Structure 1
Amino acid sequence: MPVIGYVSRTEHFSAAHRLNSPRFGKCNHANGHGHNYVVETVLRGPIDPITGMIVNITDLKQWLKTAVLDHVDHKNLDMDVKFFKTRPSTTENLAVFIWMRLAMAMPDRSLLHKVVVAETPKNKSEFCGEGLTQQDFDQCVV
Structure 2
Amino acid sequence: ACWKVLSEKFAPANLSGLSLALSPFRKASICAEETEVIYFSEKFEFAAMHKLWNEQLSEKKNLEVFGKCANPAGHGHNYIIEVTVKRPLEQGDFGIGEFERIIDQEFIKLVDHKNLNVDVKDLAGVNPTVENIAAFAWGKLALHLGERLHCVTVWENDRTYCSYCGARDS
| DSSP-derived class of the 2:79 partner | strand
TM-superposed CA distance for 1:4, in Å, is 1.1
| DSSP-derived class of the 1:10 partner | strand
CA deviation vs aligned residue, 1:24-82 (integer Å, no higher than 9, x gap): 13322121000000100011121235x3x3x3111110000100001100000001001
| 2-structure distance, mates of 1:57, 1:9 | 10
Task: Count residues with an aligned counterpart.
Answer: 126
Alignment correspondent of 1:83: 122
Alignment correspondent of 1:35: 77
Aligned 8 A contact 2:117 2:125 in 1 = no
| 1-structure distance, mates of 2:90, 2:156 | 34
- Give the TM-score normalised by structure 2: 0.69
**Which residue of 67, 72, 82 maps to 2:111?**
72
TM-superposed CA distance for 1:104, in Å, is 1.1
Superposed CA RMSD: 1.7
TM-superposed CA distance for 1:131, in Å, is 5.9
Alignment correspondent of 1:137: none
Higher RCO (CA < 8 A, seq sep 6+): 1
| DSSP-derived class of the 1:6 partner | strand
Alignment correspondent of 1:62: 101
Name structure 1 gaps, 5 residues minimum: 133-142
Which structure has the bigger radius of gyration? 2
| 1-structure distance, mates of 2:70, 2:159 | 19
Identity fraction in percent? 34
Aligned 8 A contact 2:48 2:114 in 1 = yes
Q: Which has the higher mean CA deviation after the structures are superposed, 3-12 or 25-34?
A: 25-34
| 2-structure distance, mates of 1:29, 1:67 | 29
- Give the TM-score normalised by structure 1: 0.82
**Which residue of 128, 135, 153 maps to 1:96?**
135
CA deviation vs aligned residue, 1:74-115 (integer Å, no higher than 9, x gap): 000001001111211000010011111111123xx1010000
Once superposed, which parts of structure 1, at least 4 consecutive aligned residues long, lie more than 3 Å away?
none
